[in-house]
Amino acid sequence: MNTLTHRLEEEAERWSSRDVLPTTLIASERTGRSYSDHAFGHVFRDVRTSAVEERPEMSELWFMRLRHTAVARLGEAGVNVPQIASITGHTLKTCYDILERDNVRTDKTAVSAFLQWLESKAHD
């Protein structure tokens, strides 16, 4: 049997004994199950607090879910806020807050906005 196949079979066996899906990146050492966002946030803060004792720069680390990144990327792509909220499950206000804080004003966004304006003028 080739080494890769053997390794994949070993990994499948290891996952079959756990109470999480293979898509879970981090599981609780105590329960063996995946964390809720809330629980992982607490663990992250505890680990960060411990790390700061030896490395003060760690105090600047913060846990960010990919939902916020999705809001920023969808905004950059020109998706409107009500549509973004329907995808991510955020309120409209939260989407606006995330876009205000996280959506970097990029060249891509500026070019997209200008092209949309030009397109609207073509139909006047």
Q: pTM for the complete prediction?
A: 0.47
Report percent pLDDT > 90 for the chain.
Answer: 25
- Cβ-contact 78, 112 below 8 angstroms: yes
**In whole angstroms, how far apart are CA 32 and each of 10, 39, 48, 65, 84?**
18, 13, 22, 21, 33
**pLDDT of 65 higher than 60:** yes
How far is Cα 31 from Cα 18, in angstroms, rounded to an integer?
Answer: 10
Which residues are paired to 93 by β-bridges?
none
* List of residues 6+ apart from 40 with CB closer than 8 A: 26, 63
**pLDDT of 76 higher than 80:** yes
Supply the Cα-derived Rg of the chain in whole angstroms. 21
